[in-house]
């Protein structure tokens, strides 16, 4: 028996063309090389695969049995090569991204629109979750990449810094008396606050900031989406901690205003997260290229 694929390829073309000469031309080999390959294959099986005729060669009964299998394998190999070319050219395939609802809506969506316009045959799959959940999705192989708030410290992951955002506190008309007032953190804590859930990166960041100044922020309301943070603040249920870039419309129209503080809130950074040392699919690599 032999594991030499090249011998089977020679056998296939000799059987397909019925000519050692034609097989040699198709494979860019010499005829003696073709003859030698067939001889090696026959010796490995201990069977005669061809017999000579007036026009060239024909398969023996044993050779015909082998050809029925080799022909199928050649068809599958050809289909595989065509599929690989299709994936490379982004004529097919899928793109699986993990991230939060807010980052999908306010940051990723414009890139997805452009990507879908350029590569309409790529299927898009969005997996929603918190940063810890997105990290798990990535490690489990359920997504190709994640779009998350930084920092991310994990030796298994590679994170490309993408954009900078700025978080802030905002309020609606109910707290209009605070519009022209600069608050200390202690003063802010006297008002009802609305924050993301505990396991979100934004919640961790603001909690760490208050802790660094010796305070603990305890929200009256916890929510799981930016849309609820915005709507609850508009309704006057409290002062929400949001990303400024995500409330541009509300700030411009005046339904929300930014609370001024006597301390500078640190910027937030968004990163594109992938598995370290794991090759990206063509579809994922092209999307990352589009975002940068």
Residue boundaries of the structural domains of the chain: 5-88, 163-269
Q: What is the pLDDT of residue 280?
A: 87
Both tokens of 245, joined, read 């870039």
Both tokens of 63, joined, read 């050779």
Both tokens of 135, joined, read 């990290």
User: Right CATH number for 163-269 from 3.40.50.2300, 3.40.190.10, 3.40.50.11290, 3.20.20.140?
Assistant: 3.40.190.10
User: Each residue of 84-127: pLDDT tens digit?
Assistant: 777 777 888 899 999 988 899 989 999 999 999 999 999 999 99
Q: Assess whether pLDDT exceeds 80 at residue 39.
A: yes
Q: In the structure, what pLDDT confidence band is assigned to residue 288 with cuts at 50, 70 and 90?
A: very high
Instruction: Tell me how far CA of residue 113 lies from CA of 105, 191, 228, 238, 245, in angstroms.
Output: 11, 40, 25, 34, 19
Q: Assess whether pLDDT exceeds 60 at residue 2.
A: no
Reduced 3-state DSSP string for the chain: CCCCHHHHHHHHHHHHHCCHHHHHHHHCCCHHHHHHHHHHHHHHHCCCCEEECCCCEEECHHHHHHHHHHHHHHHHHHHHHHHHHHHHCCCCCEEEEEECHHHHHHHHHHHHHHHHHHCCCCEEEEEECCHHHHHHHHHCCCCCEEEEECCCCCCCEEEEEEEEEEEEEEECHHHHHHCCCEECHHHHCCCCEEEECCCCHHHHHHHHHHHHCCCCCCCCEEECCHHHHHHHHHCCCCEEEEEHHHCHHHHHHCCCEECEECCCCCEEEEEEEEECCCCCCHHHHHHHHHHC
Q: Is residue 18 within 8 Å of 49, Cβ to Cβ? A: no
Q: What is the pLDDT of residue 138?
A: 93
Q: What is the pLDDT of residue 174?
A: 96
Task: Give me the chain's average pLDDT, please.
Answer: 92
Q: In the structure, what pLDDT confidence band is assigned to residue 281 with cuts at 50, 70 and 90?
A: confident
Q: Assess whether pLDDT exceeds 70 at residue 169.
A: yes
Mean per-residue pLDDT, 124-145? 92
Residue carrying structure tokens 């605070």: 178
Name residue 182's beta-bridge partners.
260
Q: pTM (2 decimals)?
A: 0.68
Q: What is the pLDDT of residue 109?
A: 94
Residue carrying structure tokens 């916890």: 222
Q: What is the pLDDT of residue 157?
A: 95
User: Is 163-269 the same fold as 5-88?
Assistant: no
Q: What is the pLDDT of residue 3?
A: 58
State percent of the chain over pLDDT 70: 99
Q: What is the pLDDT of residue 92?
A: 83
Q: What is the pLDDT of residue 129?
A: 87
How far, in Å, CA of 127 to CA of 129, rounded? Answer: 7
Evaluated on CA atoms 268, 269, 270, 276, the torsion sign reads negative
Both tokens of 73, joined, read 């394998």
Q: What phi, psi does 98 have (nearest 5°)? A: -115, 150
User: Right CATH number for 5-88 from 1.10.10.10, 3.40.50.620, 3.50.50.60, 3.40.640.10?
Assistant: 1.10.10.10
């Amino acid at each position: 028996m032999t594991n030499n694929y090249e011998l089977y390829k020679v056998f296939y073309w000799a059987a397909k063309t019925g000519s050692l000469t034609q097989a040699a031309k198709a494979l860019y080999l010499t005829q003696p090389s073709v003859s030698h390959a067939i001889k090696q294959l026959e010796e490995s099986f201990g069977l005669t695969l061809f017999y000579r005729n007036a026009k060239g060669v024909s398969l023996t009964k044993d050779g015909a049995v082998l050809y029925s299998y080799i022909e199928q394998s050649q068809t599958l190999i050809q289909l595989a090569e065509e599929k690989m070319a299709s994936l490379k050219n982004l004529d097919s395939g899928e793109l699986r991204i993990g991230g939060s609802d807010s980052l999908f809506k306010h940051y990723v969506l414009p890139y997805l629109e452009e990507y879908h316009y350029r590569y309409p045959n790529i299927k898009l799959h969005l997996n929603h979750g918190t940063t810890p959940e997105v990290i798990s999705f990535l490690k489990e192989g359920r997504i190709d990449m994640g779009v998350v708030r930084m920092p991310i410290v994990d030796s298994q992951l590679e994170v490309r810094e993408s954009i900078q955002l700025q978080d802030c506190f905002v309020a609606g008309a109910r707290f209009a008396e605070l519009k022209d007032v600069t608050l200390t953190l202690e003063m802010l804590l006297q008002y009802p606050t609305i924050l993301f859930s505990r396991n979100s990166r934004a919640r961790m960041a603001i909690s760490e900031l208050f802790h660094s100044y010796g305070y603990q922020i305890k929200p009256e309301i916890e929510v799981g989406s930016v849309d609820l943070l915005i709507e609850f603040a508009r309704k006057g249920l409290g002062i929400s901690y949001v990303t400024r870039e995500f409330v541009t419309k509300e700030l411009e129209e005046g339904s929300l205003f930014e609370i001024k503080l006597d301390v500078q809130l640190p910027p937030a950074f968004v990163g594109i997260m992938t598995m370290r040392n794991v090759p990206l699919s063509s579809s994922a690599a092209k999307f990352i290229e589009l975002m940068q």
